[in-house]
Amino acid sequence: MNDQATTVLAIGTKKGLWLATSRNRRSWTLSDPLFLMQEVPGVGIDTRGGRTRILVGTRSEHWGPSVVHSDDLGATWTEPERGSIGFDSDDGAALERIWQIQPDSEGRPGVVWAGCEPISVWKSTDGGEHFELNRGLWDHPHRSEWGAGYGGAAAHTVLPSPADDSIHVAMSTGGVYRSVDGGTSWEPRNRGISAYFLPDPQPEFGQCVHKIARDAGNPRHLYAQNHHGVYATPDAGDTWTSIAEGLPSDFGFVMLSHPRRPGTAWVIPLKADGERIPPDGELAVHRTDDGGGSWSRLHRGLPTREYNAVLRDAAAVDAADPVGVYFGTRGGSVYASADEGESFVEVASHLPDVLTVRAAVVAD
Protein backbone atom coordinates (compact mmCIF):
# COMPACT_ATOMS: atom_id res chain seq x y z
CA MET A 1 0.00 0.00 0.00
CA ASN A 2 1.14 3.55 -0.74
CA ASP A 3 2.33 4.96 2.59
CA GLN A 4 1.41 8.44 1.45
CA ALA A 5 -2.26 7.58 1.10
CA THR A 6 -4.70 8.26 3.87
CA THR A 7 -7.22 5.69 4.99
CA VAL A 8 -10.42 7.02 6.51
CA LEU A 9 -12.47 4.80 8.79
CA ALA A 10 -16.03 5.93 9.50
CA ILE A 11 -17.46 4.55 12.73
CA GLY A 12 -21.21 4.85 13.16
CA THR A 13 -22.49 4.22 16.66
CA LYS A 14 -25.63 4.28 18.73
CA LYS A 15 -24.84 7.85 19.66
CA GLY A 16 -22.83 9.55 16.94
CA LEU A 17 -20.18 9.22 14.25
CA TRP A 18 -16.42 9.18 14.59
CA LEU A 19 -13.89 9.39 11.78
CA ALA A 20 -10.48 7.79 12.20
CA THR A 21 -7.63 8.44 9.80
CA SER A 22 -4.29 6.75 9.30
CA ARG A 23 -1.31 6.82 6.95
CA ASN A 24 -0.27 3.28 7.66
CA ARG A 25 -3.46 1.66 9.03
CA ARG A 26 -1.61 0.86 12.25
CA SER A 27 -1.64 4.15 14.12
CA TRP A 28 -4.91 6.05 13.96
CA THR A 29 -6.16 9.51 14.79
CA LEU A 30 -9.72 9.66 16.03
CA SER A 31 -11.93 12.69 15.42
CA ASP A 32 -14.20 14.34 17.91
CA PRO A 33 -17.74 12.94 17.80
CA LEU A 34 -20.07 14.08 15.08
CA PHE A 35 -23.88 13.98 15.22
CA LEU A 36 -23.88 13.30 18.94
CA MET A 37 -27.17 11.92 20.26
CA GLN A 38 -27.96 10.60 16.81
CA GLU A 39 -27.80 6.94 15.96
CA VAL A 40 -25.67 6.25 12.87
CA PRO A 41 -26.65 2.81 11.54
CA GLY A 42 -25.60 3.33 7.91
CA VAL A 43 -22.49 4.83 6.31
CA GLY A 44 -21.20 4.71 2.75
CA ILE A 45 -17.91 6.03 1.43
CA ASP A 46 -18.04 6.70 -2.30
CA THR A 47 -14.60 7.19 -3.86
CA ARG A 48 -15.68 6.93 -7.47
CA GLY A 49 -14.83 9.62 -9.97
CA GLY A 50 -11.93 11.04 -7.98
CA ARG A 51 -14.18 12.42 -5.24
CA THR A 52 -14.55 11.10 -1.72
CA ARG A 53 -18.10 11.47 -0.49
CA ILE A 54 -19.04 10.19 2.96
CA LEU A 55 -22.76 9.44 3.16
CA VAL A 56 -24.22 9.04 6.61
CA GLY A 57 -27.62 7.75 7.62
CA THR A 58 -28.58 9.32 10.92
CA ARG A 59 -31.54 8.82 13.20
CA SER A 60 -32.59 11.05 16.03
CA GLU A 61 -35.05 9.61 18.53
CA HIS A 62 -36.75 12.99 18.46
CA TRP A 63 -36.40 14.31 14.94
CA GLY A 64 -36.31 11.16 12.83
CA PRO A 65 -33.93 9.77 10.21
CA SER A 66 -31.97 11.60 7.55
CA VAL A 67 -29.09 11.22 5.10
CA VAL A 68 -26.29 13.75 5.14
CA HIS A 69 -23.11 13.85 3.11
CA SER A 70 -19.67 15.39 3.23
CA ASP A 71 -17.27 15.93 0.34
CA ASP A 72 -14.45 17.20 2.56
CA LEU A 73 -13.85 14.25 4.88
CA GLY A 74 -16.28 15.47 7.49
CA ALA A 75 -15.29 19.13 7.76
CA THR A 76 -18.73 20.22 6.52
CA TRP A 77 -21.98 18.35 5.99
CA THR A 78 -24.96 18.86 3.70
CA GLU A 79 -28.51 17.74 4.37
CA PRO A 80 -31.00 18.13 1.52
CA GLU A 81 -33.87 20.23 2.90
CA ARG A 82 -36.61 17.93 1.71
CA GLY A 83 -34.68 14.85 2.72
CA SER A 84 -32.83 12.32 0.61
CA ILE A 85 -35.13 9.40 1.41
CA GLY A 86 -38.82 9.72 2.08
CA PHE A 87 -42.03 7.93 1.24
CA ASP A 88 -44.81 9.62 -0.67
CA SER A 89 -47.78 10.55 1.46
CA ASP A 90 -49.94 7.90 -0.22
CA ASP A 91 -47.44 5.10 0.51
CA GLY A 92 -48.77 5.00 4.06
CA ALA A 93 -45.32 4.53 5.54
CA ALA A 94 -42.63 6.59 7.18
CA LEU A 95 -38.88 6.04 7.02
CA GLU A 96 -37.59 4.66 10.29
CA ARG A 97 -33.91 3.92 9.77
CA ILE A 98 -31.27 3.83 7.03
CA TRP A 99 -29.50 0.51 7.47
CA GLN A 100 -27.29 0.50 4.40
CA ILE A 101 -25.79 3.01 1.98
CA GLN A 102 -24.11 1.20 -0.88
CA PRO A 103 -22.38 2.98 -3.76
CA ASP A 104 -22.75 0.99 -7.00
CA SER A 105 -19.80 -0.06 -9.17
CA GLU A 106 -17.46 2.13 -11.23
CA GLY A 107 -19.53 1.45 -14.31
CA ARG A 108 -22.57 3.17 -12.80
CA PRO A 109 -21.26 6.53 -11.62
CA GLY A 110 -23.64 8.42 -9.38
CA VAL A 111 -25.72 5.39 -8.52
CA VAL A 112 -26.04 4.75 -4.80
CA TRP A 113 -28.39 2.26 -3.16
CA ALA A 114 -29.96 2.39 0.27
CA GLY A 115 -31.57 -0.36 2.30
CA CYS A 116 -34.03 0.84 4.88
CA GLU A 117 -36.56 0.14 7.58
CA PRO A 118 -39.42 -0.46 6.92
CA ILE A 119 -38.21 -3.06 4.42
CA SER A 120 -37.45 -1.01 1.33
CA VAL A 121 -34.72 -0.40 -1.20
CA TRP A 122 -33.96 3.01 -2.65
CA LYS A 123 -31.85 4.15 -5.60
CA SER A 124 -30.07 7.43 -6.14
CA THR A 125 -28.58 8.51 -9.45
CA ASP A 126 -27.08 11.75 -8.12
CA GLY A 127 -24.49 10.43 -5.71
CA GLY A 128 -26.86 9.92 -2.79
CA GLU A 129 -28.53 13.31 -2.57
CA HIS A 130 -31.98 12.09 -3.62
CA PHE A 131 -33.30 8.53 -3.65
CA GLU A 132 -36.31 6.93 -5.36
CA LEU A 133 -38.21 4.07 -3.79
CA ASN A 134 -37.80 0.75 -5.60
CA ARG A 135 -41.44 0.00 -6.35
CA GLY A 136 -40.79 -3.55 -7.48
CA LEU A 137 -39.77 -4.63 -4.00
CA TRP A 138 -42.12 -2.28 -2.15
CA ASP A 139 -45.13 -3.68 -4.02
CA HIS A 140 -43.94 -7.30 -3.77
CA PRO A 141 -46.77 -9.71 -2.89
CA HIS A 142 -44.64 -11.25 -0.13
CA ARG A 143 -44.43 -7.95 1.75
CA SER A 144 -47.20 -8.69 4.21
CA GLU A 145 -45.41 -11.91 5.23
CA TRP A 146 -42.01 -10.38 5.87
CA GLY A 147 -41.30 -9.98 9.56
CA ALA A 148 -39.16 -8.04 11.95
CA GLY A 149 -36.09 -9.31 13.70
CA TYR A 150 -35.04 -7.83 17.02
CA GLY A 151 -33.45 -4.83 15.33
CA GLY A 152 -36.47 -4.02 13.19
CA ALA A 153 -37.77 -5.03 9.76
CA ALA A 154 -35.21 -3.84 7.28
CA ALA A 155 -33.55 -4.39 3.96
CA HIS A 156 -30.10 -4.33 5.51
CA THR A 157 -27.90 -5.33 2.58
CA VAL A 158 -28.05 -4.25 -1.06
CA LEU A 159 -25.55 -5.81 -3.47
CA PRO A 160 -25.68 -4.62 -7.08
CA SER A 161 -23.63 -6.84 -9.36
CA PRO A 162 -20.80 -5.16 -11.24
CA ALA A 163 -21.22 -7.70 -14.05
CA ASP A 164 -24.85 -7.33 -15.06
CA ASP A 165 -28.22 -5.91 -14.02
CA SER A 166 -28.73 -8.29 -11.13
CA ILE A 167 -29.12 -7.05 -7.57
CA HIS A 168 -29.31 -9.05 -4.36
CA VAL A 169 -31.10 -7.73 -1.31
CA ALA A 170 -31.00 -9.31 2.13
CA MET A 171 -33.75 -8.56 4.60
CA SER A 172 -34.51 -9.57 8.15
CA THR A 173 -36.71 -11.33 8.21
CA GLY A 174 -37.54 -12.34 4.69
CA GLY A 175 -34.30 -13.72 3.36
CA VAL A 176 -32.46 -13.07 0.11
CA TYR A 177 -34.25 -11.62 -2.89
CA ARG A 178 -32.75 -11.23 -6.36
CA SER A 179 -33.60 -9.01 -9.26
CA VAL A 180 -32.12 -9.76 -12.68
CA ASP A 181 -33.60 -6.70 -14.35
CA GLY A 182 -32.07 -3.83 -12.41
CA GLY A 183 -34.70 -3.88 -9.68
CA THR A 184 -37.93 -4.03 -11.67
CA SER A 185 -38.92 -7.46 -10.37
CA TRP A 186 -37.73 -9.59 -7.45
CA GLU A 187 -37.75 -13.28 -6.57
CA PRO A 188 -36.76 -14.99 -3.31
CA ARG A 189 -33.51 -16.95 -3.53
CA ASN A 190 -33.19 -19.00 -0.34
CA ARG A 191 -33.16 -22.64 -1.40
CA GLY A 192 -30.91 -24.54 0.97
CA ILE A 193 -30.97 -21.91 3.73
CA SER A 194 -32.58 -23.16 6.92
CA ALA A 195 -35.10 -21.21 8.95
CA TYR A 196 -35.11 -23.45 12.02
CA PHE A 197 -37.36 -20.99 13.87
CA LEU A 198 -40.26 -21.55 11.47
CA PRO A 199 -42.64 -24.53 11.31
CA ASP A 200 -41.31 -25.27 7.82
CA PRO A 201 -37.53 -25.00 8.17
CA GLN A 202 -37.00 -24.78 4.40
CA PRO A 203 -39.45 -22.08 3.29
CA GLU A 204 -39.26 -20.21 0.00
CA PHE A 205 -38.69 -17.03 2.00
CA GLY A 206 -38.76 -15.89 5.61
CA GLN A 207 -35.18 -16.73 6.52
CA CYS A 208 -33.32 -14.45 8.88
CA VAL A 209 -30.28 -13.62 6.82
CA HIS A 210 -27.85 -11.40 8.70
CA LYS A 211 -25.45 -10.37 5.95
CA ILE A 212 -24.48 -11.34 2.42
CA ALA A 213 -21.35 -10.57 0.42
CA ARG A 214 -20.39 -11.04 -3.22
CA ASP A 215 -17.23 -12.89 -4.27
CA ALA A 216 -14.66 -10.83 -6.09
CA GLY A 217 -13.85 -13.41 -8.74
CA ASN A 218 -17.28 -14.61 -9.67
CA PRO A 219 -20.17 -12.18 -9.24
CA ARG A 220 -22.58 -15.14 -9.19
CA HIS A 221 -20.83 -16.52 -6.12
CA LEU A 222 -22.13 -15.10 -2.85
CA TYR A 223 -21.69 -15.80 0.85
CA ALA A 224 -24.32 -15.51 3.58
CA GLN A 225 -24.20 -15.37 7.35
CA ASN A 226 -27.58 -16.35 8.67
CA HIS A 227 -29.26 -16.54 12.03
CA HIS A 228 -27.54 -19.89 12.41
CA GLY A 229 -25.97 -21.05 9.21
CA VAL A 230 -23.09 -19.91 7.03
CA TYR A 231 -23.67 -20.52 3.34
CA ALA A 232 -22.31 -20.00 -0.13
CA THR A 233 -24.01 -20.06 -3.50
CA PRO A 234 -22.29 -20.68 -6.85
CA ASP A 235 -25.31 -19.65 -8.93
CA ALA A 236 -26.40 -16.21 -7.75
CA GLY A 237 -28.61 -17.64 -5.03
CA ASP A 238 -30.42 -20.41 -6.90
CA THR A 239 -28.93 -22.90 -4.45
CA TRP A 240 -27.09 -22.40 -1.17
CA THR A 241 -24.91 -24.94 0.65
CA SER A 242 -23.39 -24.78 4.10
CA ILE A 243 -19.79 -23.66 4.52
CA ALA A 244 -19.99 -23.63 8.33
CA GLU A 245 -17.79 -26.67 8.88
CA GLY A 246 -14.60 -25.63 10.62
CA LEU A 247 -16.13 -22.61 12.35
CA PRO A 248 -16.66 -22.64 16.14
CA SER A 249 -20.23 -21.47 15.63
CA ASP A 250 -22.51 -21.03 12.66
CA PHE A 251 -24.07 -17.94 14.23
CA GLY A 252 -22.92 -14.37 13.71
CA PHE A 253 -23.85 -11.19 11.98
CA VAL A 254 -20.86 -10.36 9.79
CA MET A 255 -19.96 -11.50 6.28
CA LEU A 256 -17.19 -9.79 4.33
CA SER A 257 -15.62 -10.67 0.99
CA HIS A 258 -12.28 -9.72 -0.50
CA PRO A 259 -12.53 -6.91 -3.07
CA ARG A 260 -10.25 -8.70 -5.56
CA ARG A 261 -9.22 -12.21 -4.56
CA PRO A 262 -11.73 -14.97 -5.35
CA GLY A 263 -12.66 -17.32 -2.54
CA THR A 264 -11.65 -15.08 0.37
CA ALA A 265 -14.23 -14.07 2.97
CA TRP A 266 -14.36 -13.25 6.67
CA VAL A 267 -16.89 -13.97 9.43
CA ILE A 268 -16.93 -13.20 13.15
CA PRO A 269 -18.68 -16.11 14.89
CA LEU A 270 -20.78 -15.68 18.00
CA LYS A 271 -22.18 -18.36 20.24
CA ALA A 272 -25.95 -18.40 20.06
CA ASP A 273 -28.78 -18.39 20.71
CA GLY A 274 -28.37 -18.41 24.42
CA GLU A 275 -25.20 -16.34 24.77
CA ARG A 276 -24.50 -14.16 21.74
CA ILE A 277 -20.90 -13.55 22.67
CA PRO A 278 -17.68 -14.71 20.99
CA PRO A 279 -17.32 -18.44 21.68
CA ASP A 280 -15.90 -18.86 25.20
CA GLY A 281 -15.46 -15.08 25.30
CA GLU A 282 -12.55 -15.31 22.86
CA LEU A 283 -12.96 -12.80 20.08
CA ALA A 284 -11.64 -13.91 16.70
CA VAL A 285 -12.13 -13.30 13.03
CA HIS A 286 -12.27 -16.33 10.76
CA ARG A 287 -11.11 -16.19 7.16
CA THR A 288 -11.53 -18.59 4.31
CA ASP A 289 -9.33 -18.47 1.24
CA ASP A 290 -11.03 -21.34 -0.55
CA GLY A 291 -14.64 -20.27 -0.75
CA GLY A 292 -15.59 -21.72 2.61
CA GLY A 293 -13.87 -25.08 2.34
CA SER A 294 -11.67 -24.28 5.33
CA TRP A 295 -11.31 -21.46 7.86
CA SER A 296 -8.40 -19.86 9.70
CA ARG A 297 -8.88 -18.38 13.17
CA LEU A 298 -7.31 -14.92 13.38
CA HIS A 299 -6.98 -13.15 16.72
CA ARG A 300 -3.53 -11.58 17.04
CA GLY A 301 -3.96 -8.15 18.62
CA LEU A 302 -7.50 -8.80 19.77
CA PRO A 303 -8.39 -8.89 23.48
CA THR A 304 -8.24 -12.25 25.21
CA ARG A 305 -11.67 -11.67 26.73
CA GLU A 306 -14.53 -9.96 24.93
CA TYR A 307 -18.18 -10.34 25.78
CA ASN A 308 -19.70 -8.00 23.24
CA ALA A 309 -21.24 -8.91 19.92
CA VAL A 310 -20.23 -7.53 16.53
CA LEU A 311 -23.29 -6.41 14.61
CA ARG A 312 -24.04 -7.08 10.96
CA ASP A 313 -22.81 -3.82 9.51
CA ALA A 314 -20.07 -3.18 12.05
CA ALA A 315 -17.39 -4.74 9.85
CA ALA A 316 -15.86 -3.74 6.55
CA VAL A 317 -12.89 -4.09 4.26
CA ASP A 318 -11.02 -1.43 2.34
CA ALA A 319 -9.71 -1.75 -1.21
CA ALA A 320 -6.01 -1.44 -0.44
CA ASP A 321 -3.36 -4.09 -1.05
CA PRO A 322 -3.14 -5.93 1.27
CA VAL A 323 -6.76 -5.49 2.20
CA GLY A 324 -7.63 -3.83 5.50
CA VAL A 325 -10.22 -5.48 7.73
CA TYR A 326 -12.16 -3.44 10.28
CA PHE A 327 -14.80 -4.14 12.88
CA GLY A 328 -16.35 -2.68 16.01
CA THR A 329 -18.14 -4.18 18.97
CA ARG A 330 -21.24 -3.30 20.93
CA GLY A 331 -18.81 -2.42 23.70
CA GLY A 332 -17.43 0.43 21.63
CA SER A 333 -14.08 -1.05 20.66
CA VAL A 334 -12.91 -0.76 17.06
CA TYR A 335 -10.14 -2.86 15.53
CA ALA A 336 -8.21 -2.55 12.28
CA SER A 337 -6.06 -5.01 10.41
CA ALA A 338 -3.67 -3.88 7.70
CA ASP A 339 -2.86 -7.45 6.69
CA GLU A 340 -6.15 -9.10 5.80
CA GLY A 341 -6.90 -10.11 9.38
CA GLU A 342 -3.56 -11.65 10.37
CA SER A 343 -3.14 -9.03 13.11
CA PHE A 344 -5.21 -6.20 14.54
CA VAL A 345 -4.67 -2.90 16.33
CA GLU A 346 -7.23 -1.11 18.46
CA VAL A 347 -8.41 2.07 16.75
CA ALA A 348 -10.81 3.23 19.45
CA SER A 349 -12.34 2.03 22.69
CA HIS A 350 -15.20 3.02 24.96
CA LEU A 351 -17.31 4.42 22.16
CA PRO A 352 -21.07 3.81 22.17
CA ASP A 353 -22.29 0.57 20.54
CA VAL A 354 -20.70 0.33 17.11
CA LEU A 355 -23.41 -0.12 14.46
CA THR A 356 -21.44 0.33 11.25
CA VAL A 357 -17.90 0.83 9.99
CA ARG A 358 -16.70 1.70 6.50
CA ALA A 359 -13.14 2.31 5.33
CA ALA A 360 -11.61 3.73 2.19
CA VAL A 361 -8.25 4.89 0.94
CA VAL A 362 -8.70 8.50 -0.06
CA ALA A 363 -6.77 10.91 -2.19
CA ASP A 364 -4.69 13.47 -0.33
Q: Return residues touching another protein (CB under 8 A).
A: 14-15, 37, 61-64, 66, 79, 81-83, 86-89, 91-95
Helix%, strand%, coil% for the chain, nearest 5: 5, 40, 55
- Given a contact cutoff of 8 angstroms between Cβ atoms, the answer to whether 322 and 281 are in contact is no
Smaller CB distance to another protein: residue 77 or 87? 87
DSSP 162-208: SSSS-EEEEEETBEEEEESSTTSS-EE--TT---TTSSSSS-SS-B-
Q: Single out the residue of 119, 219, 221, 125 nearest to residue 171, CA to CA.
A: 119
Rounded to an integer, what distance in angstroms lies between the CA atom of residue 36 and that of residue 351? Answer: 12
- Smallest distance, Å, CB 15 to another protein? 8
- Smallest distance, Å, CB 88 to another protein? 7
Smaller CB distance to another protein: residue 85 or 283? 85
Rounded to an integer, what distance in angstroms lies between the CA atom of residue 352 and that of residue 332? Answer: 5
Rounded to an integer, what distance in angstroms lies between the CA atom of residue 276 and that of residue 260? Answer: 31
- Given a contact cutoff of 8 angstroms between Cβ atoms, the answer to whether 260 and 218 are in contact is no
- Smallest distance, Å, CB 309 to another protein? 17
- Smallest distance, Å, CB 60 to another protein? 8
Smaller CB distance to another protein: residue 16 or 263? 16
- Smallest distance, Å, CB 120 to another protein? 12
The phi and psi torsions of 50 (rounded to 5 degrees) equal 80, 5
The phi and psi torsions of 17 (rounded to 5 degrees) equal -115, 140
User: Which SS3 state, helix, strand or coil, does residue 50 take?
Assistant: helix
Smaller CB distance to another protein: residue 13 or 52? 13
Radius of gyration of the CA atoms of the chain, in A = 19
Smaller CB distance to another protein: residue 95 or 170? 95
- Smallest distance, Å, CB 194 to another protein? 35
Smaller CB distance to another protein: residue 86 or 332? 86
- Smallest distance, Å, CB 84 to another protein? 11
Smaller CB distance to another protein: residue 15 or 23? 15
- For the chain, the distance separating the N- and C-terminal CA atoms, rounded to the nearest angstrom, is 14
- Smallest distance, Å, CB 90 to another protein? 10
- Given a contact cutoff of 8 angstroms between Cβ atoms, the answer to whether 27 and 38 are in contact is no
Distances in Å between the Cα of 83 and the Cα atoms of 77, 109, 194, 249 are 14, 21, 38, 41
Smaller CB distance to another protein: residue 63 or 150? 63
Rounded to an integer, what distance in angstroms lies between the CA atom of residue 254 and that of residue 279? Answer: 15
Buried b (16+ CB within 10 A) or exposed e, 151-176: bbbbbbbbbbbeeeebbbbbbbbbbb
Please give the single-letter amino acid code of residue 187. E
Q: Which helix (H) or strand (E) holds 43?
A: strand 39-46
Smaller CB distance to another protein: residue 93 or 319? 93
- Smallest distance, Å, CB 297 to another protein? 34
